Structures are given as C-alpha cells and as structure tokens.
Structure 1
Amino acid sequence: MPEKNLLKQERVAFILAELQKRYPNPPIPLDHKDPYTLLVAVLLSAQCTDERVNQVTPSLWQLADNPFNMAKQSVDDIQAIIRPCGLSPQKSKAIKRLSEILVEQYQGIVPNDMQALETLPGVGHKTAGVVMAQAFGVPAFPVDTHIHRLAQRWGLTSGKNVAQTELDLKRLFPKERWNDLHLQIIYYGREHCQARACHGLVCPICTTCYPNRKTAKVIKKP
C-alpha cells in the first residue's frame, strides 16, 4: 500500500524540523555592515543574484557607505558601479533619493519601522521586511517568488500572489521562527528545490510531503 501524502500540519512540522536540521544558523546572504548597507544591498538584489550584488557592493561602499556621503554622489556615478545588477537607472536614482530622505527626515538613520521603510524610493514590502528581520530582528516573513514557489509545492498556500502567500505562511509557522525560516527556505530552494529541477517531484521535502505525487506541481505565478 503506498504511503499517504502528509496532512498540512504534518507537513508544517516536518518542514520546520528538516530546515532547522539542515540550516540551524542561516547566514544573511547579502554582505553588509549596518542597516543602511543592508537596505541598499537588498534594493540591488531585485531581479539580481545575491552573488552578483556581493561582487558589486564593495566598490559602491568605497564610493559611499552611509546616507550622508551617498546623497552627495551623482546618479551617474552610482549607476556606473551598480550596472551589473540590472535595472541600474531606476536603482541608482532610488539609492540617491532614499539616502537624501534618510538625511533630511531621519538624521541619517534607517528607521526601524515597516511603514516608514516602505515609503522610501525603491523599497517595497519585501525589501522592508528583509531589513526589519535581518537588520533589526523584528519578526517578518518576506516572501519573494522563490519562497512563493516552494510554499505552493509544499502545499502551504494556494495564494496567487506573494502577499497571500506571506499571510498563509505567517498563520502556519510560529512567529519566533519567521526570520530564520525565510532564509532557510531560500537556501533549501537554491540547493534542492530549484525552479527548473524539482517541480515538486524530486527534493527530500517534496517527496516526503507528497510521496504519491506523480505529475509536476503547477505553480500560480505572482
């Protein structure tokens, strides 16, 4: 008799244990030294790999590594450095303007406030969540397209967008695990459950949660 697919609460318990076993102390993948450099690095990571961002930011920090100095730089000089990250025209303008706003309104200090962060140029909900979680230790569950994909493969959400997936994951997992879990899922996805490799049929979590799954899991793209 074939094994049964796990119930949702069984999946949640298994995923929590499995990810904690594999990544007990998940490091922050973007190199930074304070909330400001993390904020800029996360902004740069949109539609770009963390590896590429980490290759670019040392040169950017040489130009300016705080909002006071960055606000004095030209958009062209910023763009020349960050061009390899993609979307450099928009990102360079956002970096300069958010630096100016931090100086003008926040004494050069990145605010420890989700809503305030979301008002900054180039900073969306996900970016603000990453900064709140990783710079300030405030529980947040930033969901990108990769986490959205895995959450669907693991039967944790039927959400059609990252906003709904975030709400579903927050309901399922304990708040004290959100910050680590966000990183743990990203690392697991990169290593074991890639977009074009697993399809919900190959990796240890997918096959344990759904041993009877025979066809690729179709993902609702955000």
Structure 2
Amino acid sequence: MLKIVVLVSGGGTNLQALIDAQEAGTIKNGKISCVISSNPSAYALERAEQHGIATVVLNRKEYPDVASYSQAVLHTLQEQEADLVVYAGFMTILDESVCNAYPNKMMNVHPALIPSFCGKGFYGLHVHEAALQKGVKLTGATVHFVTAVCDGGPIILQKAVAVKDNDTPETLQRRVMEEAEWEILPKAVSLFCEGKIKVTDQKVSITD
C-alpha cells in the first residue's frame, strides 16, 4: 500500500475528491497518509481531520524564502515516507530540490487543457478568466507530473469541459472542478499506485 501525501493551501475540494474516492475503494493500492498545509487556517485541514488523516502545518509565512520553505517540505515528505505527492490546491511555489527528489512521483491538477492557459500566473480564477476572454469553446482539466517547469511536466490525464455562453469565471471554475478535476485526479492517483503509469521521453503511457 503506497503512502500518498497531499499538499494543500485552501478549501480542499480536490482533497475531498481524493478522500471520497479512497473511501469508495476506487483508489487501489494507495492511501492518504498525511496532509501538509502551507496555511494554518486552511479548511482542507479540517477535512483531513474529519476522516482521521494526519496533518502537518508548514506555515509559509514563517519561512524567509522559497529555499528554506522547500527544504522544510522536503524534510517532512521524507519523514512521512511519501511514495506519491499530490498538489491539491497548493498555492506555494517550491524550488526544484523537491521535484528532483521525487521525479515522476509528484502530481498536480491544473484547471485547463495544458498547454493552454498554464504557467506562471495561471492559477485559480485567473485561468477561467483567460479562457472566457479568449472565447474558447472547450476547456477542462489536466493532471500532470510536477517538474521544475511550472505546469510543464508530463501529462497523465486530461478531460474536456464545454464552455457555455453565459459562463462567468466562477461558474466555469465550478463546472471544471465537478466534471473534470474531481474525476481525473483520483483516477490518476490510482493509476500511479497500481503501477500503471510509465514515462518515456516526457510522455506518459498507461498500461491496462
């Protein structure tokens, strides 16, 4: 059984999707062993505690720079013996020392179809504002491995979501979460834990 450590900063809706999938038995050969938050008041911590999952708070504001914070997170991941690290609304940038320590073992869900609307500055509602401004007819979500390049790691799963004429950034954000993020993130986690993901030349193949 692989140990999954989830990194959070806010409400924890993606964490809840993972917890629900775990309790429904759809995440195979893996279990959330710990939730690490960069924000001591994140509601995600309550979600974890309600389901008996250990939590650690590493308050970003208590560290002087990215390097020292990254080392604290890395130390905690090693302490927790993490097999897979999942970014679930984790709003803090870590330096490459962390992803280098967990090559193809850290994954993130991004609320767009990468390579569209991704990279530095594209997070939260900003992504959906940009999609609406561009007038795209399809958006969606992407689960990818984390590398030193922001949103640039190998793509694991994607799912498209239709954009409606009367969408606001808020309604689009909600629909992308419900129809895509909450579905493909637990699925990608389970595929990893089942040993069904292979990365070759920055491309992911999934075995049956």
* TM-score, normalised with respect to structure 2: 0.30
User: TM-score when scaled to structure 1?
Assistant: 0.29
Considering fraction of residues, name the structure with more helix. 1
Structure showing the higher strand proportion among its residues: 2
Larger radius of gyration: 1
